[in-house]
Amino acid sequence: MRPLLADGWTDGCPGEWATPGVAPSLPTTLPAIEDGAELLSKPIVLPADVIKGVLHRGAKMVLAGGSKSYKTWALIETGVSVATGATCLNNFETEKGHVLYLNFELPDAFFWNRVRTICDERQLTIEPHMLSVWNLRGHVAHWTKLDPQIAADTYSLIIIDPTYKLLFKRAENLAGDVASLMNEFEALAVRTGAAVAFGAHYSKGDQSQKEAMDRISGSGVFARDPDSIINFARHEEADCYSVDLILRNHPPQASFVMRWDFPLFITDLTLDPTRLKKRKPSGAAEKQYTVAQFIGTLDDEPMFATQIVRRAARKLECAERTAWSLLDEAKELGALKPQGRQWQRNPNI
């Protein structure tokens, strides 16, 4: 008999809610025990990749980052990329396939507005039956009610966002509780043949002092269980994130930096991914360049951010990464005002 957890969950069959005091029956179908010699005498066929070199079908992937670090935007863009066969993240190639997105957080209109914004920015067109969305905000049901409605052999990628909506009585800091949630996602991946991706948030504190595996909040199962982990840690440059990939079934990938430039993450090859944001020490040195100097390099005509940065870097004789930082400060101070996708000096400041 499998023991019951304190909240009524069993430690066995994924997603099974046990009647207190009653041991549920074991699954009726299990994989056969295989002979190594016989197995190795045949060709071994690996599952196809959904994101080349990062995620294969039947696997689980977690995209983790701090609070308000645009994780949902990144997950939506990943879904759009796979649905259209476009590249995603650090220009990783994708295998075009049908995507199912389970949205538990955003109101329907706001979700679809994000999809349209990303498609317009990247000039992508989603064909019929390539991106399916199940908008479940306000309709969260127990996973055992949702899982049977997801058809097998239909999807290439299933995205679940956010995971905390499916915790119910489970606590994210208890290994057994998180393991039962991961078992549910794993059973979904095995049953449907799709890759399953989901988001997770970081714990509080200085992430630069932690190993990439230890940044996710709650139980360590969140980091130990998935086959692919994509960590977005805040970089010392504003609106930039160092991305570390921890991969179980693929060769290692080098870390890189992505800059948030609404509505997309853009790879920034000029930045060192090891330079994570740290707590500011007391008595920090005074900055060499000011926002006023930065604004003084510009004319009154609207310009794209990249054009502004290159111009300011040339005139101030500073590094482009410094100019990007000054650009972010100017935006925050209102010294630049948006003009569509371009920026213009604010004459009132």
**Position 230 in a domain:** yes
Q: What does the pLDDT read at residue 205?
A: 57
In a domain, 36, yes or no: no
Is there a single domain that holds both residue 331 and residue 187? no
Whole-angstrom CA distances from 132 to 70, 80, 98, 103 are 21, 10, 8, 11
Which among 342, 291, 262 has a CA at the least distance from the CA of 73?
Answer: 262
Task: Please tell me whether residues 261 and 115 are part of one structural domain.
Answer: yes
Is 248 a member of any domain?
A: yes
DSSP annotation string for 242-258: EEEEEESSS-----EEE
> Percentage helix, strand, coil, to 5, in the chain?
30, 20, 50
Q: What is the C-alpha R_g of the chain? A: 23
Angle between helices 108-122 and 71-84 (to 10 degrees): 60
Do 253 and 295 lie in one domain? The reply is no
Q: How far is CA 139 from CA 53, 142, 143, 145, in A?
A: 35, 10, 12, 11
Question: Does residue 340 share a domain with residue 260?
Answer: no
Query: pLDDT 10s digit of each residue in the chain, 349 long?
Result: 344 443 444 444 444 444 333 333 345 688 899 999 999 999 999 999 999 999 999 999 999 988 888 999 999 999 999 999 999 998 999 999 999 999 999 999 999 999 999 999 999 999 999 999 999 999 988 888 899 999 999 999 999 999 888 988 888 888 888 899 999 999 999 999 999 999 987 766 555 555 655 567 667 787 789 999 999 999 999 999 999 999 999 999 999 999 999 999 999 999 999 999 886 555 444 567 888 888 889 888 888 888 899 888 888 888 888 888 888 888 888 888 888 888 888 877 6
For residue 305, the domain's CATH number is: 1.10.10
CB 337 within 8 A of CB 343: yes
Closest-CA residue to 162 (of 109, 197, 198): 198
**298/210 same-domain check:** no
Please state whether beta strands 55-56 and 49-51 pair in parallel, antiparallel, or not at all (unpaired). antiparallel
Domain that holds residue 131: 49-267
Beta strands (DSSP E) in 107-263 are: 131-135, 157-161, 195-201, 228-234, 240-247, 256-261
Q: Which two tokens stand for residue 186?
A: 């794993």
CATH of the domain at 191: 3.40.50.300
Whether residue 295 sits in one domain with residue 256: no
β-bridge pairing 99-103 and 131-135: parallel
Domain stops at, among 233, 267, 301: 267
Q: What is the dihedral of CA 154, 157, 161, 165, to 10 degrees?
A: 50
Of 252, 267, 282, the residue at which a domain comes to its end is: 267
Helices 305-316 and 320-333, axial angle in degrees (round to 10)? 120
pLDDT for res 114 = 97
Judge whether 96 lies within some domain.
yes
Same domain, 227 and 331: no
Are residue 189 and residue 302 in the same domain, yes or no?
no
Whether residue 281 is contained in a domain is answered as: no
Q: 166 and 119 in one domain?
A: yes
The DSSP line for 298-320 is --SS-B-HHHHHHHHHHHHT--H
Of 88, 84, 107, 104, nearest in space to 96 by CA: 84
pTM over 0.75: no
Residue among 157, 48, 51, 60 at smallest CA distance from 94: 51
